[in-house]
Structure 1
Amino acid sequence: MTDGKWQKGQLIKRYKRFLADVVTADGDTLTLHCPNTGSMRHCIVEGSDCWYSRSDSKTRKYPHTWEVATTPTGHLAGINTARANGLVRAALEAGVIEPLAGYPQIRAEVRYGSENSRIDFLLSGETGNCYVEVKNVTLMEAAGEGLFPDAVSTRGSKHLRELMATVQAGHRAVLLFCVQHTGVEWVSPADAIDPAYGQNLREAAAAGVEILAYRARIEPEHSRILLSEALPVRL
């Protein structure tokens, strides 16, 4: 069980990949779980405002989880990558993602493909099946430009191959960028970080995989993040 209300603190540092220290509103130092396996490039400013949640689980060594960071440009970034699929599911159910409307059945984590993958969402309806892979975006280099991935991602390239094979088998396949960064205005492949992924993404688009991007509205004062608007994808 998780306490729904987020608390505000000031970031001291992130370290050992999965930990971060913050100063609480009461002036205490608290160690948080950092639920992000990526580099978190351009997401961290020591001394900046951040927000965290608390779990009531008795088995967790670190009951508090880092949720939102303030970036070097002053924007907010949702750094809890575990929330991305939940954001997308809520948006699907609310009809926010218009290109994916019309599928009454939504199944998560369905095994598929020749490379032993799990698709994030399998949508089903009268028009057939639609396979949706979700990728979380928090990296902004130039103003407005969201990039994926923020580190070399062989797993991401594998997912693109699986999506292309799905299209070849006659199904609809979608790669959906879940943008948890309030400053991002469009999304592009991070060719300077992972050129292979960029090449594979363009090949996937040419093969019929649909590439979508939706930006989240981040409201730490209300302890919530919601996908709210479509963004262009520039390949």
Structure 2
Amino acid sequence: MLLQLQPAKLIKRYKRFLADIEFTNGEQTTIHCANTGAMKGCAEPGDTVWYSTSANAKRKYPFSWEITVSKDEHFICVNTLRANQLVEEALHKDLITELSGFNLLQREVKYGNENSRIDFLARYNDAPDTYIEVKSVTLLESGHGYFPDAVTTRGQKHLRELMDMVAQGHRAVLLFAVLHTGINDIAAADHVDPIYAKLLKEAQQAGVEIIAYKAEFSLKKGELNISLDDKVPFITR
């Protein structure tokens, strides 16, 4: 994925979807933040942020926060919309070996008993359908990555749905897209959402596959290339 970006300094994030930034000339503006999480460690005042510019003249906030460069010089993709885009690109390039070889890939398919939509539904010849749920990981603590970074009842629902798919004879995969260069392994954040952590362990025991792939970042003269092709371990605690 190639993005055209511009740098600025973060002043503060607020109201979940907004952030104030300062340009290099000292002017300030408000940008959109497509991230509903806590963004712990990803939104510290003074951090360098990289933003994209929308061509849609009707948008109230034409700039979108894409990347944070932390004080430790870690690259963090904070736009959670990018996770599914990166996964889709990686799937079509067969970079995620556990999910390669499909005949058909569909996005946002309705399924389950709790009125959900699966991120991707993959079909492989005569094999059972594969339901793929994508989660973006950006929480780094004590050298390890964790999910979630806030209590997520929606994520809990998705785990129940995936377990139901396995019970019905399908294949279910929880795919963590690690969008933080400082994260080299991940685990369930039971200190953040113990219910989610418990459900995740139950899901794994029920046959839901858990895999994680990390993004690589390359930034040159405002052009950012991101690819999801580096597998990292999921640690069961």
SS at structure 1 position matched to 2:235: coil
Q: Which moved more, 1:13-22 or 1:195-204?
A: 13-22
Distance 1:140 1:46 in 2: 17
SS at structure 1 position matched to 2:42: coil
SS at structure 1 position matched to 2:149: coil
Cross-structure match for 1:210: 209
Contact 1:180/1:218 (8 A) holds in 2: no
Cross-structure match for 2:117: 118
Cross-structure match for 1:229: 230
1:141 Cα offset (Å): 0.7
SS at structure 2 position matched to 1:128: coil
Distance 1:73 1:190 in 2: 22
- The root-mean-square deviation of aligned C-alpha atoms, in Å, is 1.3
Contact 2:108/2:119 (8 A) holds in 1: yes
1:70 Cα offset (Å): 2.0
1:1-235 alignment to 2 at 5 Å?
4-126=3-125, 127-143=127-143, 145-221=144-220, 222-235=223-236
1:137 Cα offset (Å): 0.5
Contact 1:12/1:21 (8 A) holds in 2: yes
Aligned residue pairs, count: 232
Contact 2:128/2:169 (8 A) holds in 1: no
Gap runs ≥5 in structure 2: none
Distance 2:132 2:98 in 1: 12
Aligned partner letter, 2:210: I
Distance 2:180 2:234 in 1: 15
SS at structure 1 position matched to 2:163: helix
Distance 1:102 1:160 in 2: 25
Cα separation, partners in 2 of 1:64 and 1:215, compared to 1, 3 Å? same
Aligned partner letter, 1:46: P
Cα separation, partners in 2 of 1:4 and 1:194, compared to 1, 3 Å? closer
1:4 Cα offset (Å): 4.6
Percentage of matched positions with identical amino acids:
49
1:46 Cα offset (Å): 1.3
